[in-house]
């Protein structure tokens, strides 16, 4: 059953401030109904709501999220559920809108966030962005030296002959991201990077227009995507893992692309979704 149908049947209110008990209940029922095994079910069962003293904090209210995304949104070890902790708030907010508005596809996420207002999505994004928790060490690279060199070249310098900007031009010289809306590239498993870049190439992941990443990925071959993902995933994290406040100044004549982002909901507005 589609997640949104189930949630309607469960009578979740569209008042934008779904309580954690509802979120937890929904997550557990979705999990129970749609997944019959694996870590998710274990995660769902291992946090009985009744056993937890209920405090109305973001940490409690986002337990349904961290069942998949790992404690404090640190990512699950298998690399399938992405890390949320410490990613720029604008980036996370854009992704929540992308799932809700079907520019990214993952039914369970879309079902969970569909009833929530823009202001509440932003609040969750800001909460995860504020969590400052350590990253796992990178796994050793599995690609050949030549593949890794090609990856490094593309990430650090791009390819001006093909109007391909360096990845660091937008993602920051240390690849730790640029606030508010450009994510870092480090601390992500190779499979996740390959999957996301592959999804852009296949038209299954889109961002707010203008979708600069779509443009970039369309200029990369599958081999180049793999080279870039292999090199990036093997890089150690710098001492300062925080997103920087400005992208490096582009050298004169360097190619640059514009990237879209959602406008932020006005502060204090109770339910911007209702006004669309």
Binding mask 140-159 for ligand HEC (x = CB under 6 A): --------------xx----
Rounded to whole angstroms, the Cα distance separating 261 from 265 reads 12
Q: Is residue 182 involved in binding ligand HEC (CB under 6 A)?
A: yes
Nearest to 109 by CA among 57, 60, 49, 68: 68
Task: Please tell me the distance from the alpha carbon of residue 79 to that of residue 221, in angstroms, as a whole number.
Answer: 23
Q: Pattern 74-93, binding to ligand HEC, x per CB under 6 A?
A: ------xxx-x--x---xx-
Report, in Å, the least distance between residue 250 CB and ligand HEC.
10
- Judged by CB under 6 A, the residue of 28, 74, 100, 104 near ligand HEC is 104
Q: Is residue 213 within the footprint of ligand HEC (CB under 6 A)? A: yes
Collect all residues with Cβ–Cβ distance below 8 Å to 229 and sequence separation of at least 6: 151, 190, 193, 194, 197
**Do 232 and 135 contact (CB within 8 A), yes or no?**
no
CB neighbour burial string for 85-102, b if at least 16 within 10 angstroms, e if fewer: bbbbbbbbbbbbbbbbee
Tokens 């669309």 found at: 276
CB of 32 to ligand HEC, least distance (A): 12
Cβ(149)–Cβ(136) under 8 Å?
A: no
Q: Is 243 in the site for ligand HEC (CB under 6 A)?
A: no
Q: Is 18 in the site for ligand HEC (CB under 6 A)?
A: no
Which chain residues interact with ligand HEC by CB under 6 A? 27, 40, 62, 64-65, 67-69, 80-82, 84, 87, 91-92, 94-96, 104, 106, 108-109, 112-113, 124, 154-155, 165, 167, 169-171, 181-183, 185, 188, 193, 195-197, 207, 212-213, 216, 228, 257, 259
């Amino acid at each position: 059953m589609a997640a949104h149908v189930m949630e309607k049947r469960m009578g979740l209110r569209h008042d934008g401030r779904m309580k954690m008990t509802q979120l937890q209940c929904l997550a557990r029922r979705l999990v129970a109904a749609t997944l019959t095994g694996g870590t998710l079910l274990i995660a769902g069962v291992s946090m009985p709501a009744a056993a937890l003293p209920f405090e109305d904090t973001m940490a409690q209210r986002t337990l349904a999220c961290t069942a998949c995304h790992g404690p404090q949104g640190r990512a699950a070890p298998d690399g399938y559920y992405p890390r949320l902790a410490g990613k720029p708030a604008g980036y996370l907010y854009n992704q929540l809108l992308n799932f809700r508005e079907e520019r990214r596809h993952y039914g369970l996420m879309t079902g969970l966030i569909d009833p929530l207002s823009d202001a509440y999505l932003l609040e969750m994004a800001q909460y995860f962005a504020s969590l400052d928790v350590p990253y796992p060490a990178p796994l050793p690279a599995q690609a050949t030296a030549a593949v890794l060199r090609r990856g490094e070249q593309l990430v650090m310098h791009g390819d001006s002959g093909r109007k391909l900007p360096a990845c660091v031009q937008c993602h920051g010289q240390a690849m730790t991201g640029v606030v508010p809306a450009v994510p870092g590239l480090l601390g992500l498993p190779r499979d996740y990077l390959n999957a996301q870049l592959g999804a852009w190439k296949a038209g299954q992941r889109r961002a707010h227009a203008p979708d600069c990443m779509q443009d970039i990925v369309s200029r990369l071959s599958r081999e180049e995507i793999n080279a870039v993902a292999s090199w990036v995933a093997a890089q150690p994290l710098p001492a300062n893992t925080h997103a920087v406040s400005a992208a490096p100044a582009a050298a004169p004549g360097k190619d640059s692309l514009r990237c879209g982002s959602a406008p932020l909901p006005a502060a204090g507005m109770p339910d911007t979704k209702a006004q669309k």
